Amino acid sequence: MYWTLELASYLEDAPWPATKDELIDYSIRSGAPLEVVENLQELEDDGQPYESIEEIWPDYPTKDDFFFNEDEY
C-alpha cells in the first residue's frame, strides 16, 4: 500500500468518520483511481470507523506543513 498526495486527495471530501467499506464505496462512486480502492482494501478492518485521512496515512500533510502567508492572497 502506498499513498501520494494525488491519491489521498480523492478522500478529502469523504464522509468522515467512515468505515473501510464506506470509504471503498465512496471512492468507487466518486471515480477515484483503482490505486485508491486497492489501498483501501489493504486497510485493517476492525469494524471501527476511521475518523480522518490521518488515520489511514499518518504522514498526510496538513495545512500546518506548508509555509506561506495566507494573508498575502
Residues 43-73 pLDDT 10s: 988 889 999 999 998 888 765 544 555 565 5
- pLDDT exceeds 60 at position 3: yes
Residues 17-32 pLDDT 10s: 999 999 999 999 999 9
> What distance in Å separates the CA atoms of residue 39 and residue 57, rounded to the nearest whole number?
10
C-alpha cell at 32: 477515484
Domain-embedded: residue 3: no
Domain-embedded: residue 35: yes
* pTM of the predicted model as reported, rounded to 2 decimal places: 0.81
Q: Which of 59, 3, 66 is nearest to 35 (CA)?
A: 3
Domain-embedded: residue 67: no
State the total domains in the chain.
1
Domain-embedded: residue 21: yes
Q: Between helices 20-29 and 34-41, what is the axis angle to 10°?
A: 170
Domain-embedded: residue 26: yes
Determine the structural domain holding residue 24 and report its residue range.
Answer: 15-57
Domain-embedded: residue 44: yes
Domain-embedded: residue 63: no
